């Protein structure tokens, strides 16, 4: 069969037989009028562009506030509290950006109890028990933290199998972060959790009527009366379809607040007043969480914080435009920053994190490392639990109805895969293999990241420029390392899990990475023209962007997409996105 017939046949098949992945009517997949012209604005004036980008975050506090006042939120918080009393598992599950968030919420919970043990040593056994109640999974296993597992989110059976493999029992609690409700694997997880007798909570960010009217997999979830649904509609994304931004931010705010309120309630009943004083923090009221987020957005959108974010965008954009690289050093918030750097890959068609034993693949533009511990410790320190992989066999994939391409070439998603990614103190010559090589030390709330005394002495050699990016409380630096300081001063309340600070890091880094890519022209207006199509949802998104910007029908755009997609050497994936290649072939000026 000729390549011409191949791409036309593939396009016809997608248009006719994959209508459950035609998502143009979904609000979170549409362009946001608040950020229209983003790329043009930020290229003229970085600060003005950042202010435009942050406009889309102003609806998050409202959506969270509405949820905080609902019976469903109070029920979810009470169920987490019940699980703490009864020793029940609290499983947090999702996919993609929300999957990484699920792991972060789990790790934050586990880290809190671990850090409390030295303060309350006589309660160690009790605190360890509370720590171990939390568990998490993301579609594709922990390896998906660093790189999306192609096509996995298209299967409800995969999400269901991962929930079964988690060893949950009736009476346990499941928090399903469904993002926009679009991913089949997450809906499969929700249904399986309900079937197994878990108290299941489904957090979703699109109108129920639209989801149920269009998508069978969503309808199946909403038909389950026992599944408790929490609507978190925040409107369209700042960049069309980029749910790593507003959707996962509102999920972090709501799920994190529920965790903190449940912990606070437990402590009020189980700790003495002196022990509570040792803890040194408490939860906020639900309305105060929304107010704190509103304040965070306002602070980042003006004054010195806006100036600092804009300056950092200019520094990174300048480095990448010259062919350089950026490496972030962090400790306490390594997971938050790793999440942002890995999510740049599918959003902007950038090379993913490269394995330590790979010298041939392209080097990722941005990377995150912990200079205080070796990688084998860093991954487990980041997750606060052992690394979990998927050791599924060929027969397992056949049983779950996987495509023949997955059956014949199962992805490498075993538990040992993360060890090939050096995120610890090991020297990595690839990070200085292109110039300029930036080293960005990330300090949060005055806590400076220091290399361990026994860290390799050559760990920081070869970098051309060193930056101290300081987020949060404006405390003078005590480090004299010759680094240029970039301050993003923000004042936030302190809480049990430091939720406001995690929100600050997420919002700042999402803004930094998206603003940098927009300034470099890897976004057109507020459209994701550099999307990497790793699943059917992203094939549809690629097609819709082509149709919108080339002003052609969906069917024709799909055909043109597949012509690019099937006509390129797979080794040339990261040259530019298939969308950009297609638009240029159609005569659209992507600049």
Q: pLDDT tens digits, residue range 227-279?
A: 999 999 999 999 998 989 999 999 999 999 999 999 999 999 999 999 999 99
Cβ atoms 282, 257 nearer than 8 A? no
Report the Cα 18 to chain-centroid distance in Å: 26
What is the average pLDDT across 557-585?
A: 89
- Nearest in space to 467 (alpha carbons), one of 350, 353, 580, 366: 366
Report the Cα 117 to chain-centroid distance in Å: 29
What kind of fold does domain 38-55+298-341+353-519 have according to CATH? Answer: Rossmann fold (3.40.50)
Query: What's the mean pLDDT when you consider all of the chain?
Result: 94
Give the strand order in the sheet containing 199-204. 134-138, 90-94, 173-177, 199-204, 228-231
Quote the pTM value: 0.94
Between CA 57 and CA 67, with CA 63 as vertex, the angle to 5 degrees is: 145
- For 584, the token pair is 């240029």
Please provide the DSSP assignment of 487-529 as one string.
EEE------TT-HHHHHHHHHHHHHHHHHHHHHTTSSBTTB-T
Distance in angstroms (rounded) separating the CA atoms of residues 544 and 555: 10
Distance in angstroms (rounded) separating the CA atoms of residues 258 and 289: 11
Confidence (pLDDT) at 258: 98
For 130-174, the pLDDT digits (tens) are: 999 999 999 999 999 998 888 899 999 999 999 999 999 999 999
Classify residue 325 by its DSSP letter: E
Res. 57: pLDDT tops 90: yes
Between CA 114 and CA 290, with CA 494 as vertex, the angle to 5 degrees is: 115
- In a 10 Å sphere around its CB, with 0-12 CB exposed, 13-18 middle and 19+ buried, how is residue 224 labelled? middle
Confidence (pLDDT) at 480: 67
Handedness of CA 508, 514, 517, 521 (dihedral sign): negative
Give the number of other CB atoms < 10 A from CB of residue 427.
15
Tell me the pLDDT band of 1, cut-offs 50, 70 and 90: very low
- Nearest in space to 589 (alpha carbons), one of 550, 535, 537, 536: 550
Same fold, 38-55+298-341+353-519 and 58-282: yes
Alpha helices in 271-387 (DSSP H): 273-279, 286-300, 303-321, 334-348, 375-383
What is the average pLDDT across 319-345?
A: 95
Please provide the DSSP assignment of 407-474 as one string.
HHS----STTGGGGS--SSS--GGGGSSSSEEEEEEEETTB-----TTS-TTTTTT-SEEEEEEEES-
Confidence (pLDDT) at 23: 85
**Of 445-454, 472-481, 515-524, minimum mean pLDDT range:** 472-481
Distance in angstroms (rounded) separating the CA atoms of residues 223 and 211: 12
What is the average pLDDT across 173-179?
A: 95
Tell me the pLDDT band of 4, cut-offs 50, 70 and 90: low
Cβ atoms 93, 137 nearer than 8 A? yes
- Nearest in space to 536 (alpha carbons), one of 16, 12, 19, 8: 19
- In a 10 Å sphere around its CB, with 0-12 CB exposed, 13-18 middle and 19+ buried, how is residue 408 labelled? exposed
Confidence (pLDDT) at 2: 44
For 389-434, the pLDDT digits (tens) are: 999 999 999 999 999 999 999 999 998 999 999 999 999 999 999 9
What kind of fold does domain 58-282 have according to CATH? Answer: Rossmann fold (3.40.50)
Between CA 454 and CA 366, with CA 433 as vertex, the angle to 5 degrees is: 80
Between CA 230 and CA 239, with CA 233 as vertex, the angle to 5 degrees is: 140
- For the chain, give the percent of residues with pLDDT over 70: 99
Res. 3: pLDDT tops 60: no
Cβ atoms 184, 217 nearer than 8 A? yes
Tell me the pLDDT band of 295, cut-offs 50, 70 and 90: very high
Domains of the chain, residue spans: 3-31+527-585, 38-55+298-341+353-519, 58-282
Distance in angstroms (rounded) separating the CA atoms of residues 471 and 306: 12
Tell me the pLDDT band of 5, cut-offs 50, 70 and 90: low
Question: Is the bond preceding residue 17 a cis peptide, omega within 30 degrees?
Answer: no
Alpha helices in 26-95 (DSSP H): 38-44, 46-54, 60-68, 71-86
């Amino acid at each position: 069969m000729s390549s011409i017939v191949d791409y036309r046949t593939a396009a016809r098949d997608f248009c006719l037989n994959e209508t459950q992945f035609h998502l143009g009517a979904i609000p979170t997949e549409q362009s946001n009028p608040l950020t229209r012209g983003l790329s043009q604005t930020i290229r003229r004036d970085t600060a003005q562009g950042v202010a435009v980008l942050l406009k889309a975050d102003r609806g998050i506090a409202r959506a969270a506030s509405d949820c905080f006042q609902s019976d469903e939120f109070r029920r979810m918080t009470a169920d987490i509290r019940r699980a703490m009393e009864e020793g029940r598992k609290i499983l947090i599950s999702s996919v993609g950006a929300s999957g990484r968030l699920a792991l972060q919420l789990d790790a934050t919970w586990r880290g809190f109890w671990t850090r409390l043990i030295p303060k309350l040593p006589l309660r160690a056994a009790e605190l360890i028990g509370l720590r171990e109640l939390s568990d998490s999974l993301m579609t594709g296993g922990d390896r998906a933290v660093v790189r999306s597992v192609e096509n996995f989110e298209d299967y409800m059976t995969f999400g269901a199998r991962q929930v079964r493999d988690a060893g949950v029992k009736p009476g346990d609690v499941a928090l399903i972060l469904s993002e926009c409700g679009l991913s089949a694997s997450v809906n499969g997880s929700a249904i399986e959790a309900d079937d197994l007798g878990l108290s299941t909570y489904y957090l979703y960010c699109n109108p129920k009527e639209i989801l149920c009217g269009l998508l069978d997999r969503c309808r199946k979830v909403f038909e389950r009366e026992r599944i408790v649904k929490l609507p978190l509609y925040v409107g369209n994304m700042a960049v069309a379809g980029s749910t790593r931004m507003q959707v996962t931010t509102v999920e972090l705010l709501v799920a994190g607040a529920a965790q903190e309120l449940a912990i606070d309630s437990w402590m009020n009943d189980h700790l003495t007043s002196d022990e509570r004083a040792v803890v040194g923090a408490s939860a906020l009221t639900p309305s105060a969480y929304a107010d704190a987020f509103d304040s965070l957005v306002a602070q980042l959108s003006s004054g010195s914080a806006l100036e600092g974010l804009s300056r950092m965008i200019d520094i990174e954009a300048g480095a990448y435009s010259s062919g350089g690289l950026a490496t972030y050093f962090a400790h306490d918030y390594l997971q938050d920053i790793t999440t942002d750097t890995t999510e740049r890959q599918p959003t902007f068609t950038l090379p993913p994190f490269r394995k330590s034993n790979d010298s041939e693949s392209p080097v990722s533009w941005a990377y995150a490392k912990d200079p205080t511990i070796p990688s084998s410790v860093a991954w487990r320190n980041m997750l606060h639990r052992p690394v979990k992989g998927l050791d599924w066999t060929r027969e397992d994939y056949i049983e779950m109805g996987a495509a023949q391409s997955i059956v014949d070439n199962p992805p490498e998603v075993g538990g040992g895969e993360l060890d090939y990614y050096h995120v610890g103190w090991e020297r990595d010559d690839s990070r200085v293999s292109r110039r300029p090589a930036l080293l960005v030390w990330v300090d949060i709330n005055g806590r400076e990241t220091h290399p361990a005394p026994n860290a390799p002495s050559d760990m920081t050699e070869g970098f051309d420029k060193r930056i101290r990016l300081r987020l949060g409380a404006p405390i003078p630096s005590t480090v004299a390392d010759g680094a240029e300081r970039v301050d993003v001063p923000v004042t936030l309340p302190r809480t049990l899990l430091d939720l406001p600070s995690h929100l600050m890091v997420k919002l700042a880094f999402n803004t930094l990475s998206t603003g940098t890519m927009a300034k470099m022209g890897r976004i057109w207006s507020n459209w994701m023209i550099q999307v990497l199509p790793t699943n059917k949802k992203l094939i549809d998104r690629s097609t819709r962007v082509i149709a919108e910007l080339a002003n052609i029908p969906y069917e024709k755009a799909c055909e043109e997409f597949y012509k690019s997609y099937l006509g390129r050497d797979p080794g040339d994936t990261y040259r530019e996105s298939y969308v950009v290649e297609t638009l240029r072939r159609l005569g659209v000026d992507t600049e």
